[in-house]
Structure 1
Amino acid sequence: MDSEIVQENDILQDDILIEKHKRGKFEGFRFYANKNTTDDQTTAAQISAENENLTLAFSKRAARFCASANGDFTLSSDGIVRWIGQPVGQLAATEDFLKPKLIILADTQLTGEARDNVVKRLERFITFHFEIALKPLFDLRGAEGLTDSTSNLASQLVNSLGVIPRREIATVVKNLDQESRAVLRRLGVRFGAFHIYIAGMLKPAPAQAVTLLWNLQNEGHDQTGLGEIFAALSAGRTSLVVDPSYNRQFYQLAGYRILGQRAVRIDILERLANLIRPALHWKQGNEPKPDGAYDGKSFFVTPTMMSILGANGTDMEEILKGLGYQSHAISSVFFEQNLLQNKTSSHTCTIAQDVPAAECVGDQWQVMGISSTQEKKEALPTYVTQSDTLDCLPAAEPVGDFAKQKRVVAEEKVVLLWRYNHHHRLPKNNERSGYRGQNKKSKPFKKEANIQENSSRETTPHTRHSHKANKQHSKRSNHQLSQREKRPNPDSPFAKLAALRDQLIREKDKDAHTFSSKGH
């Protein structure tokens, strides 16, 4: 930083003035001398004076550094601590994931008490930064009065950085009583349908701090996509399209779970579970039908589900499959008819229960009933005539390729119904518990081997059904042979009619042959 020349031996922020000449510049606690001020004829007294002034400058700079507020310090994603934009320290990994080691960046002229004070001030800032950013994790780590089961779960949550798939610790969660769950809930733990997680760890500041610590442990130098992912997280994006050029660990460290081509936030997946749960447990009765409910055993995707995830129909299929749901397709016509039938039946039941039928009494009601009956009888022939006239008209038959294409599209329209697959297994390297590991590359798809396997499956029948199939086939063939062997009685009228028919056919063929021979 360039500054104006002032009194002799004065210090201006980063520039050092000795005998009214600039001798160099500070950057943090490192001094860089100006090359153009070097003089071979510099006396020993001048060098000594310069060193004394430089030591004094370091001491004054250290005092100013220790008096700075926390707002003057920043910690970048590469682990470098900066003071007013200048590097003064570097973080390094230790055995304790949450407590990195500090390396001070300073010249040897910073010695003694001044150096100790600088180190202490840096350590206070680092401690303050991580304890504030990762407060939910530190609170859970230092919680007192936990039982063995709750302490075990708390330890696993801390080691997995705040998120564990529920299936991995299903037995532990099942054995927790309500009191233990209440204790963990007060510490910020949430028991979701898909994950056990600390809600406070899904915010941008904790996610950035966790990512920094993970980079220190894994010596991550390639940070491609890190800025874009955290920018989307800060903007409140509930899901992102997965970029294959980005490190997949960054999505998971930011609180997203990769499902198909999209990465969805953990808490948003739990909101999706809250929409699915009532649809799967719905029973037709007095309670209102929840959105997405079909028959109480399966559900269909609704616009609300797609809206909170920011996904389309194809994305929803991949997301639900990744969460452990399986689908089966039904015709859209049958689907709409079933929904209409359920809606009509529930509406009819409500009307029948809530509104009793009106009872007609008195002479006036009888007169009105007779007149209305006569009006209906008079209007009936006209209606029947119109319907008969319309029925006489032939239905328009679509022709051409456009009509065929339209018909095919209508036939292919289906609706997917979803239900949970209890035998679904989670992928090994797609969860937050594996953040410190590396994802294995997927094996290339062997198309030829797959085709041969499918052809072998088609040609070789399943052994369990082969006996039944052969038995049914033999029954059908025996039945056909018995039908062929049965001949009608020649004295029956059916046999005589068949003989007469055959005789007429032979005579007709004979006449046609005679006519063709005469023509030649």
Structure 2
Amino acid sequence: MASFKPSRADRSGPPVKAVLGPTNTGKTHLAIERLCAHSSGAIGFPLRLLAREVYDRVCKIKGEANVALITGEERIEPPNARWHLCTVEAMPSRPDLAFVALDEAQLAADPERGHVFTDRLLHTRGREETMLLGSATIEPMVKALVPNVEVVSRPRFSTLSHVGAKKLSRIPPRSAIVAFSAEQVYAMAEMLRRFRGGAAVVMGALSPQTRNAQVAMYQAGEVDYLVATDAIGMGLNLDVSHVAFAGLSKYDGHRHRRLTTAEMAQIAGRAGRHHKDGTFGTLAGMGGHDSGSGPEFADEEVYAIEEHRFPPLTRLFWREAEPRFDSLQTLIEDLESPPPQPELAAAPQAIDLAVLKRLAEEPDLAGTVRGRASVQRFWQVCSLPDFRQQGSETHSRFVARLWQDLRHGYLGADYVAQAIAQQDNPSGDIDTLQGRIAAVRSWAYITQRPDWVLAREEMAARARAVETRLSDALHARLTERFVNRRTTVLMRKAGGDASLLPVRISEAGAVLVDDEPIGHLEGFRFVVDPLARAADRKLLLAAAERHLPGLLSTRAEALIADAGEPAGLAIERGALIWNGLAVARLEPGRSVLEPRLRLDATLGLLSARLRPQLVSSFEGWLSKRLGADLGPLVRLAEAARAAESGPDLRALLLKLVAGGGVLAREESGLERLDGRQRDALRRLGVRIGALDLFVPAVLKSGPLALWCRLAELRGDAPLSPPTNLPPVVTAKTPPAGYRRAGGQAIRVDMAEKLLQAAHRCRIGAAAKRYPLDPALARSMGLATAGYAALLRAAGFRVHMARALAEAAHGPPAPPLWDWRPPRSAPAQAASAPLPPPTGAFAALAELIR
């Protein structure tokens, strides 16, 4: 029997890194990044589904020819593959791999498979880097068993909060309901189909293809609910905002027990993705093993899950990974030998060992196992997974039949093809198809063994094809049963009288009859459910019309309340938008800042009492919005109406308002203002620049975008709202708030900053002509030609230095500038292209290149 000893890499190689933390901490993403950063590597996953998901991701990065997928039932291994994605049992033991990672390392404490994870944790190492991923509960065990380990703790990206118990009919969309038996899963899915129109189903008994199809249906939004067993707790990346537990106890193969807090957290942690917070709770009124009325979390369990505090693991399961094959008895003794470390515990008898012991007791069969090679081959046959989940007694009979064929050599291709073909029947109900998929998975596993089957690749392809067909059929059965069928029991209860149907609106806008969706409101317009049967359509419309006036009044009152909140409404596409729908149209008014409001036609069903209230509420909201974002322009407009402003100042202020707070200086008539009027301009927040008059507070992206939306109503907006544009852009037509500078456009406040710097250099220069450094302009993204055009527009003139004599050496002299107040319109000068022979920085730019 091999004895336990630390890996050589643990003693002398690079340290092993243990990345530990709760769900949604990016551990797997980090492992994928590290794998792709190395020349070769492997990651071991607890599920074939996860291995396949990451395989697809790595293939997009490294190419299919360089990436391998190795599981018990599937092997895609190109000849030159350097990166391997595997199930833990199928991880290659190769010292030449630069990187190795083990995902969900805390499963080393799992009674059934824990000994495999423990063996990989102790012995599988990368040449350059090894990474262990898992829950923080395994940290003490890792430190005790792995010398020179570096532990990195990662916090959860989002918050996980407990929200108590909810009825199934009140569970919010994008939720996962977790049950712990197939019967309960089907019952929950059937009720959700009745209440919410359907649910996807995910169970460990489903094939990976079926689970992928069901998950894809949920992820695509075809259904808003997912019903699953605790299989979703193991790393599946789902867009789930809430996890509801239908129970808090399960049968673990030996007894019915309550989930541990770590198991609860592993499942609840599926809620929330990346930085999106999630919630968890229970289903009210479910009864069952947990309590009389339904499962409930204890206060200490809620605290542990929300704060990610769980009792640490005190032992990991271990089984001899390199037993002797001298005889069946020696093999069994080694597999049942006690662990060599106090932190390790003997693994409970797994099904492979149970089958081995069961068959070793049959003299006729045990007599056929002679010699070391035969014992080793027999153990490989006993290790065939029990995909059918029929128990050791039934599974041992299948293994015994398989051994009778394998002990003489290979399985014949005709025999394997016939066994696979027997399962190739896509008809039948859900349970029948699940049984056939489990059977064909056994043959998929058998065909992956290189020394078991003749024509292995052909037989493996046949098994995969049959599994795919059965999985497609199972997905169709699940969808038909839990999504597509629509019950009309509630409609028939009404007996044709629509007034008997209780109607209400959900938070999502669905119109519900006794929690059965019959349609939805798009703003204030009712749209009947397209899945409703034609026979029920008239009744549904009658029920909606009977109850809609009261429902719409309630919604209108909520809209009036929202108008008092800054985030309740928005201005988009010339309309007031509420929850993504237009509720009022904006029309041109007396000025840009005074648009008129007209209620959208969809609000025509509202009462005469509510319509004026809505208009008044919208006008109040619009006034507040304009005051908050365009307050400086509003004050300019008010000052223009004041009698003391005078005609010249009034004209200038109106031009500034019409220009969104920006006005070219040569168009402003500034020279006609006296000192008092200029002081009034400054008090109003107007800055007088070298080329432009502008209001700095309005040049921010939010206010400027709002002004552009209002200007579009009048058909005179210069360009689409410049939201989040940089200070300098390349554009033939300058956006609002920008001015031309050669082939580019620069925001007017940044242009003023450059010109002020140039004037400071002019004032501080000792000579009449002086150099100007274009570094500040380049840091803004303005090219030297654009900078030169801007300077020329402001009255600066360039003087190029004489060329060096033919025999002279040295750096060329920089161009020198002087300034003369501009006499002609600077806007045209700034817009005109710079002539190549006299360009301000053309020679300098050429030298830089």
Listed as ranges, the matches of 1:11-90 within 5 Å are 11-13=505-507, 14-18=509-513, 21-37=516-532, 39=534, 49-68=543-562, 69-90=564-585
Work out the CA distance in 2 between the residues paired with 1:151 and 1:220: 22
Opposite residue 186 of structure 1, the aligned amino acid is R
Work out the CA distance in 1 between the residues paired with 2:809 and 2:717: 51
Match for 2:614 among 109, 113, 118? Answer: 118
Work out the CA distance in 2 between the residues paired with 1:199 and 1:47: 55
Work out the CA distance in 2 between the residues paired with 1:219 and 1:175: 27
Task: Flag the 1:154–1:243 CA change in 2: closer, same or farther, 3 A.
Answer: closer
Displacement of 1:326 after TM fit? Answer: 2.5
TM-score under structure 1 length normalisation:
0.55
Instruction: Say whether the 8 Å CA contact 2:739–2:747 is kept in structure 1.
Output: yes
Work out the CA distance in 2 between the residues paired with 1:324 and 1:167: 13
Alignment match, 1:295: 767
Alignment match, 1:480: none
Opposite residue 723 of structure 2, the aligned amino acid is F
Asked whether 1:203 is paired with 2:700, we answer yes
Match for 1:424 among 821, 824, 842? Answer: 824
Work out the CA distance in 2 between the residues paired with 1:221 and 1:304: 30
Match for 2:724 among 190, 214, 231? Answer: 231
Instruction: Say whether the 8 Å CA contact 1:327–1:417 is kept in structure 2.
Output: yes
Listed as ranges, the matches of 1:135-174 within 5 Å are 135-143=631-639, 144=642, 146-148=644-646, 149-169=648-668, 172-174=669-671
Work out the CA distance in 2 between the residues paired with 1:417 and 1:162: 31
Work out the CA distance in 2 between the residues paired with 1:80 and 1:417: 51
Task: Flag the 1:61–1:264 CA change in 2: closer, same or farther, 3 A.
Answer: same
Work out the CA distance in 2 between the residues paired with 1:175 and 1:306: 33
Alignment match, 2:682: 185
Instruction: Say whether the 8 Å CA contact 2:503–2:543 is kept in structure 1.
Output: no
Work out the CA distance in 2 between the residues paired with 1:24 and 1:319: 60
Alignment match, 1:473: none
Opposite residue 230 of structure 1, the aligned amino acid is T
Instruction: Say whether the 8 Å CA contact 2:587–2:713 is kept in structure 1.
Output: yes
Listed as ranges, the matches of 1:328-407 within 5 Å are 328-331=799-802
Displacement of 1:209 after TM fit? Answer: 1.2
Q: For structure 2, which runs of at least 5 residues remain unmatched after alignment?
A: 1-171, 174-191, 197-489, 491-500, 836-849
Instruction: Say whether the 8 Å CA contact 1:261–1:315 is kept in structure 2.
Output: yes
Alignment match, 1:276: 758
Instruction: Say whether the 8 Å CA contact 2:801–2:815 is kept in structure 1.
Output: yes
Q: What is the CA deviation profile of residues 92-136 of structure 1, one whole-angstrom value per residue up to 9, with x for unaligned ones?
A: 333422222323332532232233323322222222222221110
Alignment match, 1:314: 785
Displacement of 1:47 after TM fit? Answer: 6.1
Task: Flag the 1:92–1:162 CA change in 2: closer, same or farther, 3 A.
Answer: same
Instruction: Say whether the 8 Å CA contact 2:686–2:696 is kept in structure 1.
Output: yes
Instruction: Say whether the 8 Å CA contact 2:755–2:794 is kept in structure 1.
Output: no
Displacement of 1:312 after TM fit? Answer: 4.5
Displacement of 1:38 after TM fit? Answer: 5.9
Opposite residue 139 of structure 1, the aligned amino acid is R
Instruction: Say whether the 8 Å CA contact 2:727–2:747 is kept in structure 1.
Output: yes
Instruction: Say whether the 8 Å CA contact 1:260–1:322 is kept in structure 2.
Output: no
Alignment match, 1:98: 593
Work out the CA distance in 2 between the residues paired with 1:128 and 1:12: 30
Work out the CA distance in 2 between the residues paired with 1:61 and 1:77: 21
- Which piece of structure 1 moves more, 154-163 or 35-44? 35-44
Task: Flag the 1:408–1:63 CA change in 2: closer, same or farther, 3 A.
Answer: farther
Relative contact order: is structure 1 or structure 2 higher (C-alpha 8 Å, sep ≥ 6)? 1
Listed as ranges, the matches of 1:427-438 within 5 Å are 427=827
Work out the CA distance in 2 between the residues paired with 1:408 and 1:215: 61
Work out the CA distance in 2 between the residues paired with 1:181 and 1:219: 28
Work out the CA distance in 1 between the residues paired with 2:829 and 2:512: 59
Task: Flag the 1:333–1:269 CA change in 2: closer, same or farther, 3 A.
Answer: farther
Alignment match, 2:431: none
Work out the CA distance in 1 between the residues paired with 2:791 and 2:515: 73
Instruction: Say whether the 8 Å CA contact 2:599–2:615 is kept in structure 1.
Output: yes
Displacement of 1:71 after TM fit? Answer: 3.4
Alignment match, 1:132: 628
Instruction: Say whether the 8 Å CA contact 1:79–1:216 is kept in structure 2.
Output: yes
Opposite residue 54 of structure 1, the aligned amino acid is L
Match for 2:714 among 207, 217, 225? Answer: 217
Opposite residue 710 of structure 2, the aligned amino acid is L
Task: Flag the 1:16–1:150 CA change in 2: closer, same or farther, 3 A.
Answer: same
Q: For structure 1, which runs of at least 5 residues remain unmatched after alignment?
A: 283-289, 335-403, 432-441, 446-520
For residue 299 of structure 1, give the secondary structure of its aligned residue in structure 2. coil
TM-score under structure 2 length normalisation:
0.35
Task: Flag the 1:276–1:194 CA change in 2: closer, same or farther, 3 A.
Answer: same
Asked whether 1:10 is paired with 2:504, we answer yes
Work out the CA distance in 1 between the residues paired with 2:800 and 2:829: 30
Instruction: Say whether the 8 Å CA contact 1:279–1:294 is kept in structure 2.
Output: no
Alignment match, 2:162: none
Task: Flag the 1:308–1:173 CA change in 2: closer, same or farther, 3 A.
Answer: farther
Displacement of 1:270 after TM fit? Answer: 1.9
Work out the CA distance in 2 between the residues paired with 1:23 and 1:117: 30
Alignment match, 2:440: none
Task: Flag the 1:309–1:319 CA change in 2: closer, same or farther, 3 A.
Answer: farther
For residue 554 of structure 2, give the secondary structure of its aligned residue in structure 1. helix
Task: Flag the 1:200–1:118 CA change in 2: closer, same or farther, 3 A.
Answer: same
Percent same amino acid at aligned positions?
21
Displacement of 1:76 after TM fit? Answer: 4.5
Task: Flag the 1:135–1:107 CA change in 2: closer, same or farther, 3 A.
Answer: closer
Work out the CA distance in 1 between the residues paired with 2:537 and 2:813: 91
Work out the CA distance in 2 between the residues paired with 1:196 and 1:19: 63
Query: For the aligned residues, what is the CA RMSD?
Result: 3.8
Opposite residue 694 of structure 2, the aligned amino acid is Y
Alignment match, 1:487: none
Task: Flag the 1:299–1:308 CA change in 2: closer, same or farther, 3 A.
Answer: farther
Task: Flag the 1:121–1:142 CA change in 2: closer, same or farther, 3 A.
Answer: same
Displacement of 1:62 after TM fit? Answer: 0.8
Q: What is the CA deviation profile of residues 223-242 of structure 1, one whole-angstrom value per residue up to 9, with x for unaligned ones?
A: 5xx5xx4222xxxx4323x1
Instruction: Say whether the 8 Å CA contact 2:503–2:513 is kept in structure 1.
Output: yes
For residue 185 of structure 1, give the secondary structure of its aligned residue in structure 2. helix
Opposite residue 52 of structure 1, the aligned amino acid is R
Work out the CA distance in 1 between the residues paired with 2:707 and 2:537: 52
Instruction: Say whether the 8 Å CA contact 1:262–1:315 is kept in structure 2.
Output: yes
